[in-house]
Structure 1
Amino acid sequence: MDKIIKYLSTGELPSERHEARNLPVKTARYALVEGILYKKSFSLPYLRCLRPSESLYALQEVHEGICGQHLEGRMLAQKILRQGYYWPTMQKDAIEFTRRCDQCQKFAPLSHTPVAPLTSIVSPIPFAIWGMDLLGPFPMASGQRRFVIVAIDYFTKWTEAESLATITLAKCEDFFWKNIICPFGVPRALVVDNGKQFDNSNFRTFCSNLSIDLRFTSVAHPQSNGQTENMNRGILQGLKKKLNEAKGAWVDELPKVLWAYRTTPHSVTGETPYSLCYGTEAMLLVEI
C-alpha cells in the first residue's frame, strides 16, 4: 500500500526492474484523494483502502459490534465492501476471523430439513405481501415477555419484530396495525400459519375489512411460508449468539439483531432490506 501511495503522490518508481514495470499497471486501479488511498470500482463508489489495524477494527465492529449479526465470512466481507472499505485479503481475513469466533462456532446453524422443491410466492411491489409468525417461548424477560411476533415483506425482505408477554388476537392485530399498516400501508395479502391467533373469525374479519387477502400455510407443510421461517431462523441465531454476552437479556438484543439483518445484503435480492426500503444504505458505526 505504501508503494502505491508513494507512486501516486510522487511518480517515483521502485529500483527493481520487474516491480517498476508492474507498479503503474497495478496503481491504475487506485486513486489518491487528499492523501487517502481509494480503490476504483465498476459498480460501487471509490472504496477506501484500510491498513491492517483499521481492517481488524472493521471486522470486529461489523461482525460483533453493537449491531453485529455474527455473519459468516463471505457475507461479512461483502457487508464491509458495501460500506465502502477494501483491502486485498478482506475475504480471506473475514473467513479466518469468523472461524476464530467462539459464538459463531457454538451457535452455527444446522439444517435438518430434507431438500425439497420450493414454490415461490412472488410479490409484485414492495410491501404488497407480508408473512407473519410467532417465536418462543424464550427465557422470561422484563415485563414477563417470552414471545416474539415477526413479520417480513416478501419484496424488500424488510423485517419487523416485537416482544410479547402473551399471544392474543388483540396483540397480533395491534402489532400488524402499528408496525405494518401505519408505516408501510395496507398490504394486498398476509401469509400466516394456522395458529388460533390467526385462524379465527375475528382476525379474518379484521383482514377482510381492510381488503387484505389472508392466506394460510399448509399444516403439514409450514415451509410454504418459507420467507418468514427463514427470518425466524435468522432471529433465533442472532439472539443465541447475543444471549451469551447479554446474560439472557434477549429483549434488549432484539433491535440490534433486526438492525443487523436490515443492513446485510440478502442472498436473494443481493441488496440490503434497508436500501430497498429507503433507497440508500444506512450509515453503520464502522463509518463513524
Structure 2
Amino acid sequence: MNIYLPSHKGRGLLTWQYWWDDPYLYKEGSDGLMRRCVSGAEARNIMWHCHSSAYGGHHSGNRTTIKILHCGFWWPTLFQESNQFVRNCDRYQRTGHRFPPSDNKLYILVCVDYVTKCVEALACPANNAHTVINILKKNVFD
C-alpha cells in the first residue's frame, strides 16, 4: 500500500481501517479508537517509555502493550515486539515474575506477638474467616 499521497490529498481515507492526516497515518482499532501508526526508533522509544521509564513500572509484555495502546500508538508487530522487549529487560527478568502458588495456597496470614515480636507467616488457601480460624487453631493456639 502506498502511504505517500499527493499534496492535494493530504487528508483522506485509505481503507476502512486507516486514515491519513498529513504527516501521520492512523489506524482504527477494534474498540473504535484511532491510533497513530509508528515504526522503527519511534516504536522502540515508546516501548521504553511504557515499560522502563519511571512511570512504566516494568510490567509484563501484555500490560506494556495495553499501555502503548492506551497512549494512542499502534504498529503491526506491537504484540510480538512488546513481549520481546520485556523478555530482554534485565530488571523485569529479575523481579517482574509472580511467584507460583504453593499447593493452591494463594494467601499469607501473618501473626505477630506484640510482646516477644515473634512473627509467624502461614500459607492459606482462602481469605475467609472460616479458613483463618482453622489455621489459627491448628498452628498458633496448639
TM-score computed with the length of structure 2 as normaliser: 0.64
Structure of higher CA gyration radius: 2
User: Structure 1: which 5+ residue stretches go unaligned?
Assistant: 11-25, 118-192, 198-218, 226-288
| 1:59-102 CA-partner distances (Å, limit 9, x unpaired) | 10110102121111122112111211100000000111111111
> Counterpart amino acid of 1:110?
F
**Residue 221 (1) aligns with residue 124 (2):** yes
> Counterpart amino acid of 1:113?
S
- Structure number having the greater helix percentage: 1
Percentage of pairs with the same residue: 25
1:2-41 pair list within 5 angstroms: 3-6=1-4, 9-10=5-6, 27-41=15-29
Change in Cα spacing, 1:220 to 1:111, as seen in structure 2 (3 Å) is closer
Which structure has more RCO (C-alpha within 8 Å, separation ≥ 6)? 1
- Preserved contact between residue 73 and residue 98 of structure 1 (Cα < 8 Å): yes
How many pairs are equivalent? 112
- Preserved contact between residue 38 and residue 74 of structure 2 (Cα < 8 Å): yes
> Counterpart amino acid of 2:78?
M
In the alignment, the residues of structure 2 paired with residue 42 and residue 80 of structure 1 have an alpha-carbon distance, to the nearest angstrom, of 15
Partner SS state of residue 43, structure 1: coil
| 1:145-195 CA-partner distances (Å, limit 9, x unpaired) | xxxxxxxxxxxxxxxxxxxxxxxxxxxxxxxxxxxxxxxxxxxxxxxx766
Partner SS state of residue 92, structure 2: helix
- Preserved contact between residue 51 and residue 59 of structure 2 (Cα < 8 Å): yes
In the alignment, the residues of structure 1 paired with residue 124 and residue 105 of structure 2 have an alpha-carbon distance, to the nearest angstrom, of 11
**Residue 46 (1) aligns with residue 34 (2):** yes
Partner SS state of residue 38, structure 1: strand
1:221 CA drift (Å): 3.2
**Residue 65 (1) aligns with residue 63 (2):** no
Following TM superposition, the consecutive aligned residue runs of length 4 or more in structure 1 with deviations greater than 2 angstroms are 112-117, 193-197, 219-223
- The Cα RMSD (Å) is 3.1
- Preserved contact between residue 4 and residue 27 of structure 1 (Cα < 8 Å): no
Change in Cα spacing, 1:196 to 1:84, as seen in structure 2 (3 Å) is farther
- Structure number having the greater strand percentage: 2
In the alignment, the residues of structure 2 paired with residue 71 and residue 34 of structure 1 have an alpha-carbon distance, to the nearest angstrom, of 34
In the alignment, the residues of structure 2 paired with residue 53 and residue 65 of structure 1 have an alpha-carbon distance, to the nearest angstrom, of 16
1:104 CA drift (Å): 1.4
Change in Cα spacing, 1:67 to 1:114, as seen in structure 2 (3 Å) is same
